[in-house]
Amino acid sequence: MTTQSTVAEGVTMPIWRQFYALMKPRVIQLIVFCALIGMVLAVPGLPAPSALMQMLIACTGIWLVSGAAAAFNCVVESQIDAKMRRTSWRPTAKGQLSNRQTLTFSAVLCGLGSWILYVWINPLTMWLTFATFVGYAVIYTVVLKPMTPQNIVIGGASGAMPPVLGWAAMTGTVGHEALILFLIIFLWTPPHFWALALYRVEDYRKSGLPMLPVTHGSEFTRLQILLYTIVLGAACLLPFMVGMSGWLYLVAAVVLSIGFVGYAIALMRAYSDALARQTFRFSLIHLSVLFAALLLDHYVSI
């Protein structure tokens, strides 16, 4: 959805859609998808009906708490969002929803999601999910984001947690396999967001946020993107190396990594906003297809 159409829609959307928009549904979809991958990989073979039900309940709890974190983020950044074209349509930025309404909504989602995870899944998953909420909504949004250009790097730990949550939901533990998935998303996050920041640099400059292209310039940011994509490519080989996956995943990981590094090299050679936008979009494809390949490989090798 384009910014223009979203703004136009934000004028007339009913209140339930305004609350739903605060949950950042597209972002939440990717979070739940990555958590689901962690759940599936934690279960050997085809899951039994009881395991499928456990996955559904866990996804629901994680979805609710993640939505709560997104809504809390909208409250904290309402003034910043109002200055940025990409986010000015949000109900909190436009003043359509008050801080009290949004905070209440966030608290209800967080409380309900945490209760579901504690009662129906296990306490470890609940506490890890709640810690992720605190890491994103408080440590990243309130402390890191306005203070350091390394906000995305440090705060990326919260965004990398979904597969760990999924693994814990099915096993009650955090295995090394889950930590490998965490590492992949952790390394993927900086080049993903820095590509966005490159072509939205004026928005970030107006907002006052110290994003890397604002504080260190385009060339330095593009170098960091290249370095991170190279390291990410190596990390993407780990599932195959430790026996989590087979050749199908390996082929997908190599192709996707070459593609991401290729975009990074192209950005270094000749920058354009259009190319940065393409890199950002490819990063989404990269993570989605990579984890989909893990899922497919898991069942093909049964």
Q: Is residue 114 over pLDDT 50? A: yes
Same domain, 76 and 96: yes
Q: Can you tell me the distance from the alpha carbon of 285 to that of 282, in angstroms, rounded to the nearest whole number?
A: 5
Same domain, 166 and 183: no
Q: Which of 174, 207, 233 is the last residue of a domain?
A: 174
Cβ pair 91, 41 in contact under 8 A = no
Which are the contacts of 68, defined by CB distance < 8 A and separation ≥ 6?
105, 106, 107, 108, 109, 110, 113, 133, 137
Q: Among residues of the chain, what percentage have pLDDT more than 90?
A: 74
The one-letter amino acid at 218: S
Given this model, what pLDDT does residue 4 score?
A: 38
Q: Can you tell me the distance from the alpha carbon of 182 to that of 161, in angstroms, rounded to the nearest whole number?
A: 6
For residue 214, the enclosing domain spans: 175-302
Round the average pLDDT of the chain to a whole number and report it: 91
Q: What is the mean pLDDT of residues 274-279?
A: 98
Q: Which of 174, 189, 205 is the last residue of a domain?
A: 174
Same domain, 89 and 99: yes
Task: Using pLDDT thresholds of 50, 70 and 90, give the confidence band for residue 58.
Answer: very high
Nearest C-alpha neighbor of 65 from the set 122, 154, 131, 147: 131
Number of domains in the chain: 2
Q: Can you tell me the distance from the alpha carbon of 112 to that of 273, in angstroms, rounded to the nearest whole number?
A: 42
Same domain, 301 and 221: yes
Q: Is residue 176 over pLDDT 80? A: yes
Same domain, 118 and 228: no
Given this model, what pLDDT does residue 207 score?
A: 82
Task: Using pLDDT thresholds of 50, 70 and 90, give the confidence band for residue 7.
Answer: very low
Q: What is the mean pLDDT of residues 209-228?
A: 95
Q: What is the mean pLDDT of residues 237-245?
A: 95
Q: How many other CB atoms are found less than 10 A from the CB of residue 115? A: 13
Residue with tokens 């297809």: 289
Q: Which of 5-14, 165-174, 244-253, 292-301 has the lowest mean pLDDT?
A: 5-14
Given this model, what pLDDT does residue 101 score?
A: 94
Q: Is residue 263 over pLDDT 80? A: yes
Quote helix, strand, coil % in the chain, to nearest 5.
80, 0, 20
Which are the contacts of 151, defined by CB distance < 8 A and separation ≥ 6?
140, 144, 145, 209, 210, 211
The pTM for the full model equals: 0.90
Provide the CATH number for the domain around residue 223. 1.20.120
Same domain, 189 and 45: no
Given this model, what pLDDT does residue 301 score?
A: 67
Given this model, what pLDDT does residue 8 score?
A: 42
Q: Which of 5-14, 118-127, 128-137, 223-232 has the lowest mean pLDDT?
A: 5-14
Nearest C-alpha neighbor of 225 from the set 279, 277, 181, 286: 279
Q: CA triplet 27, 147, 215: central angle to 5 degrees?
A: 90
Q: What is the mean pLDDT of residues 5-10?
A: 42
Q: What SS3 class is residue 186?
A: helix
Q: CA triplet 127, 133, 138: central angle to 5 degrees?
A: 125
Same domain, 209 and 149: no
Q: What SS3 class is residue 149?
A: coil
Q: Can you tell me the distance from the alpha carbon of 101 to that of 92, in angstroms, rounded to the nearest whole number?
A: 10
Q: What SS3 class is residue 42?
A: helix
Same domain, 104 and 147: yes
Q: Which of 71-80, 177-186, 290-299 has the lowest mean pLDDT?
A: 71-80
Q: Is residue 109 over pLDDT 90? A: yes
Residue with tokens 């629901």: 60
